[in-house]
Amino acid sequence: MVVAAYNDVLEVQCRYCGIVYTILANREDVVRWQAGEGYIQDVLAYLSKGERELLISGTCDNCWKGMFGDDEEDDDEV
């Protein structure tokens, strides 16, 4: 859930823990992604995976890892 957006700052609240996170992003990029003009990993590639997930699902990185574990180990197995 996006709490507030102004200039290049987004404040996004995690739907599980309620913590509000600040994400710095280009407003035009966010609008392009929301309009379906590209995949989030391409349009907002400069954000971390955790920040992108927060925008997609409203789940912060800590809550995501608590629910699904840390996938960093999986990256090494490929």
pLDDT digits (tens, 9 = 90+) for 58-71: 999 999 999 999 87
What is the band of 74 on the pLDDT scale with cuts at 50, 70, 90?
low
Tokens for 60, please give them.
Answer: 């912060």
How far apart CA 35 and CA 29 sit, in angstroms, is 10
pLDDT digits (tens, 9 = 90+) for 14-44: 999 999 999 999 989 999 999 999 999 999 9
Helix (H) or strand (E) holding 68: helix 61-68
pTM of the model: 0.79
The Cα–Cα gap between 73 and 35 comes to 33
pLDDT value, residue 5: 45
Supply the pLDDT for residue 4: 44
What pLDDT shows up at residue 8?
82
